[in-house]
């Protein structure tokens, strides 16, 4: 281990935090495994319940709704209980969700499974809200992005094995060839619940120090507020206003989606539903514009929302998770419908279960596509591991920008339906998405001190993008085809790349000189 690698986990007071980092990284493995199973569950419900692509996306909606509902409570609880208490609370909630799948299997209704998905996601919210920022403080601040990407590599391992477990239990068949997935779906979730209870006990006895970070923007200092002209000069209020308004518009869209669910349940016809949603959405954005204008003028330097690098990160994370959820969710659909015809000779031999005939054309089976999802997550893991090394040498915002615009090009090539070139690009998208979530997270909480816990809650709340955009991507695929659906993540990656390019001006940090954020000047 080199001198720099040893310094990665040494605190300011000289303590070695390698063990704390390792046990925290196990949480990333856990939620990666759970998320990996979610992505192969969509196709299972499409087959069992005869759902369209857009309808099956309710699985993703329920999953990310849990994140949206619990992100702020999780941030608050992390402040009250500290890192250890918040982690244990999250683990116990995940265990409740895992055990719920046992009665859900007997209920055998779509809503019961969606409830279990939402409960598990609620627990994972606690873990993500706490573990992500915690990895950034377990050593020198200049290696924060490196540490969070290393921990997220464990997340990639979980993503790799999750689809394998999902394929084994969701697409299982009996001796007569009939699907038994609905009867065995609970098994991996009950297993996760047992492991999680043991992990909660391990955390109870493990050393998990509550480390405080440097408050480089002087957010927590007393006595400085709007009367401080130097602090006021550090706030571009017009930029803050537009970022706040954009965040509000996203929030309005979330509630519109919830309203859509309620109206659909009541049997309202499509035309009335569309009029209601457009009216509610426009009225909500207009109201937000009026309310936020005076708020932006009064906003204090001590508010995390006065720092555009954080506000922008919440938006970037919203669109990243939206793109990730769509690409991950519909990989199986892409592999079973968009891949060029395969040789008929492949339908014989020990891998014959991987292929099926549709007319005279050979396609991948659902089980094969589920296993190919693991190949995608292997590319994801490779990107995380290599990305952690790259981030030691290059500025995180530059790497994020390059990876973001690479995925813009990749999604365009998939959209154009270029045969095997497009198929390869699907897996390349996994590689270039790999470092985005942790890097956006690290850039967003940069220099926020103790407020990083609260900021973390808002950034995790932005994960709600994964509930909304897959619905749109699925709708485009229903109307056209799965390849055309990639136009949705393409625009998401454009916005992520733009955030990366603008980050130095947002954070008032000079990447060329590694300068720190400007210090507060005397009034």
Give residue 260's pLDDT: 60
3-state secondary structure of 315: helix
* Per-residue model confidence (pLDDT) at position 224: 40
pLDDT of residue 218: 52
> How many other C-beta atoms lie within 10 A of the C-beta of residue 504?
17
Percent of the chain with pLDDT over 70: 67
Residue with the two structure tokens 């003028």: 297
Higher pLDDT pick, 227 / 132:
132
Of 438, 180, 454, 428, give the one whose Cα is nearest residue 307: 454
Mean pLDDT of 344-372: 68
Nearest CA among 86, 9, 26 for reference residue 454: 86
Confidence at residue 160, expressed as pLDDT on a 0 to 100 scale? 76
Mean pLDDT on 371-377: 81
Q: What is the pLDDT of residue 28?
A: 85
Neighbour tally for 206: CB within 10 Å = 15
Task: Report residue 221: phi and psi, to 5°.
Answer: -75, 145
Instruction: Please state, in angstroms and rounded to a whole number, the distance separating the CA atoms of residues 130 and 20.
Output: 13
Name the packing angle between helices 144-170 and 110-136 (round to 10°).
160
Q: How confident is the model at residue 74 (pLDDT cuts 50, 70, 90)?
A: confident
Identity of the highest mean pLDDT range in 146-155, 169-178, 255-264, 283-292: 146-155
For residues 81-99, average pLDDT: 87
- Residue 281: the pLDDT is 61
DSSP conformation class of 355: E
Burial 132-146 (b: 16+ CB within 10 A, else e): bbbbbbbbbbebbbb
pTM above 0.75, yes or no: no
3-state helix, strand, coil in the chain (%, to 5): 75, 0, 20
């Amino acid at each position: 281990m080199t001198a720099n690698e040893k310094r990665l986990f040494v605190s300011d007071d000289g303590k070695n935090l390698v063990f704390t980092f390792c046990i925290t990284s196990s949480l990333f493995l856990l939620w990666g495994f759970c998320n990996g199973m979610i992505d192969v569950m969509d196709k299972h419900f499409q087959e069992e319940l005869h759902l369209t692509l857009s309808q099956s996306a309710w699985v993703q909606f329920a999953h990310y709704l849990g994140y949206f509902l619990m992100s702020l409570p999780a941030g608050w609880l992390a402040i009250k209980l500290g890192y250890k208490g918040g982690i244990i609370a999250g683990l116990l909630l995940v265990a409740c969700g895992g055990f719920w799948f046992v009665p859900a299997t007997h209920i055998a209704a779509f809503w019961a499974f969606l409830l279990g998905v939402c409960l598990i996601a609620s627990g994972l919210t606690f873990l993500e809200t706490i573990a992500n920022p915690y990895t950034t403080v377990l050593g020198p601040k200049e290696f924060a992005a490196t540490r969070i990407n290393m921990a997220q590599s464990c997340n990639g391992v979980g993503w790799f094995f999750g689809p394998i477990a999902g394929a084994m239990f969701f697409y299982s068949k009996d001796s007569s060839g009939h699907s038994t997935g609905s009867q065995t779906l609970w098994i991996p979730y009950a297993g996760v619940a047992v492991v999680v209870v043991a992990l909660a006990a391990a955390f109870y006895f493990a050393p998990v120090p509550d480390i405080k970070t440097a408050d480089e923007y002087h957010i927590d200092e007393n006595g400085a507020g709007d009367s401080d002209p130097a602090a006021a000069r550090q706030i571009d209020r017009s930029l803050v206003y537009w970022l706040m308004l954009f965040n509000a518009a996203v929030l309005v869209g979330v509630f519109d989606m919830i309203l859509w669910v309620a109206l659909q349940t009541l049997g309202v016809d499509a035309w009335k539903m569309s009029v209601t949603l457009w009216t509610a959405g426009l009225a909500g954005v207009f109201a937000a514009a009026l309310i936020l204008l005076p708020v932006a003028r009064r906003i204090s330097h001590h508010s995390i929302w006065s720092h555009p690098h954080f506000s922008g990160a919440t938006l970037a994370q919203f669109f990243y998770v939206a793109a990730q959820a769509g690409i991950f969710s519909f990989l199986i659909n892409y592999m079973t419908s968009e891949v060029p015809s395969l040789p008929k000779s492949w339908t014989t031999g020990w891998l014959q279960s991987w292929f099926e005939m549709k007319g005279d054309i050979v396609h991948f089976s659902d089980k094969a596509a589920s296993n190919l999802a693991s190949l995608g997550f292997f590319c994801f893991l490779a990107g995380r591991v290599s990305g952690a090394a790259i981030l030691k040498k290059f500025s995180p915002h530059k790497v994020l920008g390059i990876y973001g615009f690479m995925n813009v090009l990749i999604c365009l090539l998939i959209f154009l339906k270029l045969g095997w070139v497009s198929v390869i690009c699907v897996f390349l998208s996994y590689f270039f998405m790999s470092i985005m979530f942790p890097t956006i997270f690290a850039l967003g909480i940069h220099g926020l001190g103790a407020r990083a816990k609260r900021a973390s809650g808002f950034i995790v709340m932005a994960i709600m993008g994964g509930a909304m955009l897959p619905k749109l991507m699925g709708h485009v695929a229903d109307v056209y085809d799965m390849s055309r659906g990639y136009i949705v993540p393409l625009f998401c990656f454009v916005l992520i790349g733009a955030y990366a390019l603008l980050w130095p001006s947002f954070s008032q940090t000079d990447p060329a000189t590694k300068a720190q954020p400007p210090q507060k000047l005397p009034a």
